[in-house]
Every structure is written in structure tokens, then in C-alpha cells.
Amino acid sequence: MAGKNMVAVTDDSFGAEIEQHRGLALVDFWATWCGPCHMVAPIVEQLAAEYNGKLKVAKMDVDQNLRTSMRFNVRSIPSILFFKDGVHVDTLVGAYPKPAFDEKIKKLLAP
């Protein structure tokens, strides 16, 4: 379910797409049956457009990618994990409003 400016990642592509990425990346761990995930999806799409070129945005279906979900201890969804130069640096769990994401992204993009 990746849209414009977003990439769908899997257990197999996660290393190349996220852990080898230089800069800031946001990964939305979600599932088709998750109501709050559908509430967050339009916000994630907006972030992908607004921070295009500054932030890599990816989506990962937890039902089809258990290995990566377990590796990062994703127990509740939506879980939004932030990676800086391939290293997990922060997490938001739950359906937050857009300003919460903006604040986190601006803090992580700051030098």
C-alpha cells in the first residue's frame, strides 16, 4: 500500500531500503485489518509529500513481514519507527495527529 513518494518494504528489502539508507527514514508498520492504521495512512502520505527529498517514507505490512516486525518488537500497530542513517532512533505507537509527526521529524532532521 505504498503511494506516491513512498515505498513498500518487506523482510527481504528492509535492509537495503531502510538500514542502508543515509538520512532520515520513517517506516509505518501497519495491517489491512487495523482501523487506527487507516486513520494514520493519509497523514503518512502527506508527510511523504511534504518532506520529499528530506525523509524516506516506507510502509510495512506486519502480517506479511513477521521477521522484521518481531526484530523491532512491534507489538501494537500502527507503529511508526524512525531510522537515521539506518539506525532505529525513535518510535510513535498509535494514531497520532499530524503535528506530533511534524514535531518528531523536525527534531530528527535538525543538525
Residues 111 and 103: beta-carbon distance below 8 Å: no
Residues 6 and 43: beta-carbon distance below 8 Å: no
Is residue 34 annotated as a catalytic residue, yes or no? yes
Half-sphere exposure of 27 (CA within 13 A, CB side): 29
The one catalytic residue among 34, 40, 74, 77: 34
Is residue 37 annotated as a catalytic residue, yes or no? yes
The one catalytic residue among 24, 27, 37, 105: 37
Q: Which three cell numbers stand for residue 56?
A: 524516506
Q: Which residues are catalytic?
A: 34, 37
